[in-house]
């Protein structure tokens, strides 16, 4: 996957900026270059995140090598396979449960007896495995346990796609229930929070996360009363567990092309589900090191207010629609969080100019069909100054469209939510290094010129005066009329 490199630390002085912005605005102001930038954005190479390696790399031309018959040969009467005996994992497990030295083959179920009578060499191998190999493996595993603890934890984490126990109270569900290969019950001694943070970030990326950040968990972001239980009593305030010390934020973008075709064709489910699986797996990995971990997965099960934790973890800044804008993906980012007591080195928040840009831009407010996004400034909410969205108006609009559930137009229209091509990277660099604020007006104007959308009223369903419109054309694979007669 292409790495994401954005130099957001470097600040220009006024002279340097004017020089850079002069060049950049000459480039950005050209319709031709804008067109090439738009075209570049359609290239799968510019996708950021998991899409970069799905489909685009399937480059072998199968049509040229297609043949009329499968390349296996049928030479007799066929028979369906019996999973009890022919699937080695199943046969071994049945064999080990049933075998007794005093009864031998006669003590096994009939189908196993029949199988081993036909394949005595398999009986020898299965007996060798049970009597010699497995005991040696268990004893050597204990001896060399630590050398392979990370590879074991990673492998097991990959299989952990369901938080079976997260409906128990945190003091029960968040802690490791057992240690593999007879290891100690106390946590592993990690060398340093810095090294551990590097490890956790690398593992999160390996598990599929596009962005990762770490925050010290601010208890202000834990819900006062639980949303969906998860081991808390519904009518009692949550007593923030002491082991929720750190929050590891992971996440992935929604599929880009349907996302641009919101409100009727995109879905948050794709990215939320990917991020959810990453969080389950990461929690499993951490638990296998002996520490507490709980996945919080928006869309389904979480006990935290997520956006401010993204800000604390240095992933982005709050934008006008009150969701977080990241430098790499804009607000096309669906996060999940793992709370843990694994000692980590928290990241610092970032400031790449969103607060100022949103004051000028307001494109999301102009395009929001429901009027849920304010054109005004921030307001105080529970002691913090923030943009506040009218969630009831927003949800009513979700119920005013006929396609995929939700809206996400504020994601699709945001100038920050653009694929990683040179045009958008240049615009981002100009915006975040501008000490004058002039570029905010210029870039907002360019965005409106190159990416206009329909009149917001047209997004509504016809019975409410709309036209079932979408911001962009849906991708070919979501155009029902091209596949289904109606």
* Closest to 94 in 3D by CA, of 73, 110, 80, 77: 110
246 vs 471 by CB, closer to ligand SF4: 471
167 vs 355 by CB, closer to ligand SF4: 355
Considering the rule CB under 6 A, would residue 358 count as an interface residue with ligand SF4?
yes
What span, in angstroms and rounded, lies between the C-alpha atoms of 115 and 127? 14
Considering the rule CB under 6 A, would residue 336 count as an interface residue with ligand SF4?
no
Helix residue spans in 87-206 (DSSP H): 88-98, 110-118, 120-128, 134-143, 149-159, 170-173, 193-206
279 vs 414 by CB, closer to ligand SF4: 414
Binding piece for ligand SF4, criterion CB under 6 A, among 46-54, 184-192, 301-309, 404-412: 404-412
SS3 153: helix
Kindly tell me the burial class for residue 300, based on how many C-beta atoms sit within 10 Å of its own C-beta (0-12, 13-18, 19 or more): middle
**Non-local CB neighbours of 351 within 8 Å, separated by 6+ positions:** 317
Q: How far is the CB of 256 from ligand SF4 (least distance, A)?
A: 16
247 vs 323 by CB, closer to ligand SF4: 323
157 vs 409 by CB, closer to ligand SF4: 409
Binding piece for ligand SF4, criterion CB under 6 A, among 87-95, 293-301, 413-421, 424-432: 413-421
Residues 169/233, Cβ–Cβ less than 8 Å? no
Considering the rule CB under 6 A, would residue 446 count as an interface residue with ligand SF4?
no
Can you tell me which of 232, 244, 397, 471 binds ligand SF4, judged by CB under 6 A? 397
**Non-local CB neighbours of 335 within 8 Å, separated by 6+ positions:** 249, 250, 251, 275, 298, 306, 310, 315, 324
Q: Residue 359's CB: how many other CB atoms inside 10 A?
A: 13
Measure CA of the first residue to CA of the last residue in the chain; give whole Å: 40
Considering the rule CB under 6 A, would residue 362 count as an interface residue with ligand SF4?
yes
Can you tell me which of 277, 278, 337, 364 binds ligand SF4, judged by CB under 6 A? 364
Considering the rule CB under 6 A, would residue 363 count as an interface residue with ligand SF4?
yes
Can you tell me which of 277, 414, 427, 478 binds ligand SF4, judged by CB under 6 A? 414
**Non-local CB neighbours of 266 within 8 Å, separated by 6+ positions:** 254, 255, 258, 259, 260, 404, 406, 408, 411, 412
Subset of residues 365 to 394 that bind ligand SF4, contact rule: CB under 6 A: 368-370, 372-373, 389, 394
Under rule CB under 6 A, how many of the chain's residues touch ligand SF4? 25
Residue for token digits 């000459």? 26
Considering the rule CB under 6 A, would residue 160 count as an interface residue with ligand SF4?
no
Considering the rule CB under 6 A, would residue 400 count as an interface residue with ligand SF4?
no
Mask for 182-211, x = binds ligand SF4 (CB under 6 A) = ------------------------------
- The answer to whether the bond into 263 is cis (omega within 30° of 0) is yes
Q: How far is the CB of 389 from ligand SF4 (least distance, A)?
A: 5
Mask for 280-319, x = binds ligand SF4 (CB under 6 A) = ---------------------------------------x
- If you ran DSSP here, which 8-state letter would residue 464 be given? G
Q: How far is the CB of 418 from ligand SF4 (least distance, A)?
A: 11
Residues 169/270, Cβ–Cβ less than 8 Å? no
Which residues make up the interface to ligand SF4 (CB under 6 A)? 319-321, 357-358, 361-364, 368-370, 372-373, 389, 394, 397, 407-410, 413-416
């Amino acid at each position: 996957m292409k790495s994401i490199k954005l130099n957001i630390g470097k600040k220009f002085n006024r002279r340097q900026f004017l020089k850079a912005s002069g060049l950049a605005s000459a480039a950005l102001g050209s319709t031709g270059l804008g067109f090439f930038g738009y075209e570049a954005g359609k290239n799968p190479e510019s996708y950021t995140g998991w899409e970069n390696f799905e489909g685009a790399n399937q480059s072998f031309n199968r049509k040229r090598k297609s043949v009329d018959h499968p390349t296996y040969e049928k030479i007799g009467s066929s028979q369906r396979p019996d999973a009890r005996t022919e699937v080695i994992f199943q046969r071994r497990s049945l064999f080990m449960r049933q075998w007794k030295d005093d009864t031998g083959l006669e003590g096994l179920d009939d189908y196993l007896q029949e199988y081993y009578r036909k394949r005595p060499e398999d009986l020898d191998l299965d007996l060798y495995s049970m009597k010699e190999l497995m005991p040696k493996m268990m004893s050597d595993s204990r001896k060399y346990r630590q050398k392979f603890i990370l590879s074991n934890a990673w492998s097991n984490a990959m299989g952990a796609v369901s938080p079976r126990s997260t409906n128990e109270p945190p003091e029960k569900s968040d802690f490791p229930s057992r240690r593999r290969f007879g290891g100690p019950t106390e946590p592993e001694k990690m060398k340093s929070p810095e090294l551990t943070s590097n490890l956790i970030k690398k593992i999160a990326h390996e598990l599929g996360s596009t962005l990762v950040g770490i925050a010290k968990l601010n208890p202000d972001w834990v819900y006062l009363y639980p949303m969906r239980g998860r081991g808390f009593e519904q009518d009692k305030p949550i007593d923030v567990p002491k082991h929720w010390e750190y929050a590891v934020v992971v996440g992935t973008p929604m599929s880009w092309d349907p996302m641009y075709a919101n409100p009727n064709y995109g879905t948050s489910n794709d990215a939320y589900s990917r991020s959810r699986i990453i969080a389950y797996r990461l929690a499993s990995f951490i638990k296998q090191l002996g520490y507490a971990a709980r996945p919080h997965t928006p869309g389904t099960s979480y006990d935290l207010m997520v956006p401010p934790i993204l800000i604390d973890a240095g992933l982005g800044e709050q934008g006008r629609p009150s969701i977080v804008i990241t430098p790499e993906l804009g607000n096309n980012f669906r996060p999940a969080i793992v709370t843990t007591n694994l000692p980590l080195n928290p990241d610092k928040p970032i400031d790449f100019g969103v607060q100022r840009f949103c004051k000028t831009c307001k494109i999301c407010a102009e395009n929001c069909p429901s009027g849920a996004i304010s054109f005004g400034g921030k307001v105080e909410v529970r002691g913090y100054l923030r943009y506040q969205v009218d969630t009831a108006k927003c949800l009513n609009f979700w119920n005013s469209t006929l396609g995929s559930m939700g809206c996400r137009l504020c994601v699709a229209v945001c100038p920050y939510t653009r694929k990683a091509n040179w045009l958008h990277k240049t615009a981002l660099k100009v915006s975040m290094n501008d000490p004058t604020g002039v570029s905010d007006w210029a870039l907002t104007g360019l965005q409106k010129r190159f990416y206009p959308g329909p009149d917001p009223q047209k997004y509504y369903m016809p019975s409410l005066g709309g036209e079932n419109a979408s911001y962009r054309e849906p991708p070919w694979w979501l155009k029902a009329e091209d596949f289904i007669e109606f």
